[in-house]
Structure 1
């Protein structure tokens, strides 16, 4: 088993985890520590159990908000898949396409002529 050292608030911890889970544990601890630091900045020093409880509740609240947003997005995606909006693409008249191609050719010819006239 691997061991990971980390800090939350004002205390250091060492926790065992499965091999390969170290990065995940460190990331989770960093999130909890970030919340704990915000609490300590606002409220000052407090007992460890209370700090961990408040930080955990703040993360749980944020997670719930993300879950709600994900559920709303999934519902909207499902709605769009079952009833896609009709999109109409205008047809570009052939005469306009030809005129644009001719303008592009003229622009290229002018650019080449300008390059030829540049001093070397």
Structure 2
């Protein structure tokens, strides 16, 4: 375990973290510190507990908004994917064979016409 020192509102806090997580913890602490400083400028010194609580609530609000926006994007993407993968309704295919079905392989099909001559058809 590693130790990281974080200073918020003039007070230093020592926090433990896993090896390799120090940088991430420092980034998160810098984000919280910026919020605390913003609130201090806006409301003055209203006490560490209140400033930290207000900061936590503002950050949680940001997280909530981001989560909701992500959920909306996922819903929209899911709907677009559903629309793209829906089978086309019957009768929409102009290139279908006589029975309404096209050759799924997409390869050339060779057949003999009634006159005995060889014809080549390409399915779409």
TM range (shorter): 0.5 to 0.7
TM-score of the superposed pair, with normalisation by structure 1: 0.66
Q: Which residue matches 1:39?
A: 39
Cα distance in 1, alignment partners of residues 16 and 29 from structure 2: 13
Q: Which residue matches 2:53?
A: 53
Structure with the bigger percentage of strand? 2
Instruction: Please tell me whether residue 21 in structure 1 is matched to residue 21 in structure 2.
Output: yes
1:63 is displaced (CA, Å) by: 0.4
Q: Secondary structure in 2 aligned to 1:45?
A: coil
Q: Secondary structure in 1 aligned to 2:55?
A: helix
Rg (Cα) greater in structure = 2
Q: Which residue matches 2:93?
A: none
Pairing of 1:50-89 with structure 2 (within 5 A): 50-84=50-84
Gaps of 5+ in 1: 85-120
Cα distance in 2, alignment partners of residues 45 and 68 from structure 1: 33
Gaps of 5+ in 2: 85-124
TM-score of the superposed pair, with normalisation by structure 2: 0.64
Structure with the bigger percentage of helix? 1
